[in-house]
C-alpha cells in the first residue's frame, strides 16, 4: 500500500474547521475562522474564489447529493443555505443558539440533519427548508452525525462520552453506546453497514456491531484525541486524524494499522 501527499492548498490565514467536496467533480470547499467560505479547484490545485463572507466561524459544510445547495453551520448557531444556481445565500436556518458541529442529509427522505452544542438535532425539509423535528439527543454537545448506508439508523457522537443510536424512520431512540471515558468527537458507519466506528478524546477507536449494538473491539489508536474517521470509497481501509498531528491508515476488515503519517 502506497500513500503519498499529492499537493497542498495554501491561502487560509486562520484555523480550518470544515472541508467538503462539491457535487461538481474537482471542487473542494473549506472554511474555518477566516470569515469566508473558500472554493478550490483540485485539477489545477488552486484557489478559485471566496464563495461568501460569514459573520462567525464555520464548523460544518455540507453539499447534499441531488440538490444544487451548500449548507454552512456557524459558531453562532445559524445555518446558511447557498444556492449554486442563483449563486447566493437564499435562506438562513435559525433553530439553534449555540455552535453547529455537523450537518448531514438523508437522500431517501430528502431531509437535512443539523447537530449543535445545545444537545439538539434539528431536522429540515430539503425542498422547503421547513423545520420538521427537533430531537433532544444529549444534555451536552453533539459533535458528529453518521447515517447507516441503508438509511435505517443514525449515530450521534456526544461530548457526554456516549454514542447515541436512533431509528431514522421515526427518530426513535434505539440505544446508548458507552465505553469511551472522554468526549466522542467522530462516528462513522462502515460502507457495508455491519459496524460503526467511534473516535474520542480518549485517543481510542471503538468498533461496534450495528445489529446488536455491542462493542466488538477497542483500539488505542493515537496519542491524543481522534478528531475524524473516514472510509476509503472503494478499498478496504479507513483513515483516522488526530490532535497528535498524525493521520493513520487502518484495515477496514482486520483493523490493523498499515500506515502512520
Claim to verify: residue 34 and residue 101 sit in the same structural domain:
yes
Mean pLDDT of the region 151-166: 98
Claim to verify: residue 127 and residue 151 sit in the same structural domain:
no
Whether the pLDDT of residue 203 is over 70: the answer is yes
Decide if 1 is inside a domain.
Answer: no
The number of angstroms, rounded, from the C-alpha of 98 to the middle of its chain's C-alpha atoms is: 17
User: pLDDT > 90: what percent of the chain?
Assistant: 97
Q: How many degrees, rounded to 5, is the angle at CA 232 between CA 175 and CA 153?
A: 20
Total domains present in the chain: 2
Decide if 109 is inside a domain.
Answer: yes
Say whether 66 sits in a helix, a strand or coil. coil
Claim to verify: residue 13 and residue 102 sit in the same structural domain:
yes
Question: Is the Cα dihedral 70, 91, 111, 67 positive or negative?
Answer: negative
- Predicted confidence (pLDDT) per residue in 100-150, tens digit: 999 999 999 999 999 999 999 999 999 999 999 999 999 999 999 999 999
Q: How far is CA 177 from CA 113, 206, 210, 234, in A?
A: 21, 10, 11, 28
Grid coordinates representing 160? 457526554
Q: Which pLDDT does position 1 carry in this prediction?
A: 67
Claim to verify: residue 55 and residue 168 sit in the same structural domain:
no
Claim to verify: residue 247 and residue 161 sit in the same structural domain:
yes
Look at residues 82, 109, 136 and tell me which one is the last residue of a structural domain. 136
Secondary structure (DSSP) of 203-224: SEEEEEETTTTEEEEEEE--SS
Given the C-alpha cell 442563483, which residue does it identify?
Answer: 86
Q: What is the CATH number of the domain that holds 98?
A: 2.130.10.10
Claim to verify: residue 123 and residue 165 sit in the same structural domain:
no
Look at residues 107, 136, 165 and tell me which one is the last residue of a structural domain. 136
Whether the pLDDT of residue 3 is over 80: the answer is no
Cα separation, 103 vs 61, whole angstroms = 7
Q: What is the pTM of this model?
A: 0.96
> Residue 83: pLDDT band by 50, 70, 90 thresholds?
very high
Look at residues 84, 111, 136 and tell me which one is the last residue of a structural domain. 136
Grid coordinates representing 14? 486562520
Burial of 119 (0-12, 13-18, 19+ CB in 10 A): buried
Averaged pLDDT score across all residues of the chain: 97
Show the domain range for 235: 143-261
- Predicted confidence (pLDDT) per residue in 28-54, tens digit: 999 999 989 999 999 999 999 999 999
Decide if 219 is inside a domain.
Answer: yes
Claim to verify: residue 126 and residue 29 sit in the same structural domain:
yes
Cα separation, 214 vs 156, whole angstroms = 16
Amino acid at each position: 500500500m502506497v500513500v503519498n501527499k499529492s499537493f497542498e492548498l495554501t491561502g487560509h490565514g486562520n484555523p480550518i474547521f470544515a472541508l467538503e467536496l462539491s457535487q461538481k467533480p474537482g471542487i473542494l470547499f473549506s472554511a474555518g475562522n477566516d470569515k469566508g467560505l473558500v472554493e478550490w479547484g483540485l485539477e489545477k490545485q488552486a484557489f478559485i474564489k471566496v464563495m461568501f463572507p460569514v459573520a462567525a466561524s464555520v464548523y460544518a459544510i455540507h453539499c447534499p447529493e441531488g440538490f444544487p445547495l451548500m449548507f454552512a453551520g456557524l459558531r453562532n448557531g445559524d445555518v446558511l443555505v447557498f444556492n449554486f444556481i442563483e449563486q447566493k445565500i437564499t435562506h438562513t436556518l435559525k433553530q439553534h443558539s449555540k455552535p453547529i458541529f455537523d450537518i448531514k442529509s438523508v437522500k431517501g427522505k430528502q431531509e437535512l440533519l443539523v447537530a449543535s452544542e445545545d444537545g439538539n438535532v434539528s431536522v429540515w425539509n430539503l425542498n422547503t427548508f421547513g423545520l420538521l423535528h427537533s430531537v433532544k439527543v444529549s444534555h451536552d454537545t453533539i459533535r458528529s452525525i453518521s447515517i447507516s448506508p441503508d438509511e435505517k439508523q443514525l449515530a450521534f457522537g456526544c461530548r457526554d462520552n456516549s454514542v447515541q443510536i436512533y431509528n431514522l424512520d421515526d427518530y426513535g431512540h434505539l440505544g446508548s453506546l458507552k465505553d469511551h471515558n472522554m468526549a466522542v468527537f467522530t462516528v462513522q458507519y462502515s460502507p457495508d453497514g455491519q459496524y460503526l466506528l467511534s473516535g474520542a478524546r480518549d485517543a481510542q477507536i471503538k468498533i461496534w456491531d450495528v445489529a446488536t449494538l455491542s462493542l466488538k473491539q477497542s483500539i488505542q489508536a493515537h496519542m491524543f484525541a481522534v478528531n475524524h474517521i473516514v472510509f476509503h470509497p472503494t478499498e478496504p481501509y479507513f483513515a483516522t486524524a488526530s490532535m497528535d498531528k498524525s493521520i493513520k491508515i487502518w484495515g477496514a476488515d482486520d483493523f490493523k494499522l498499515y500506515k502512520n503519517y
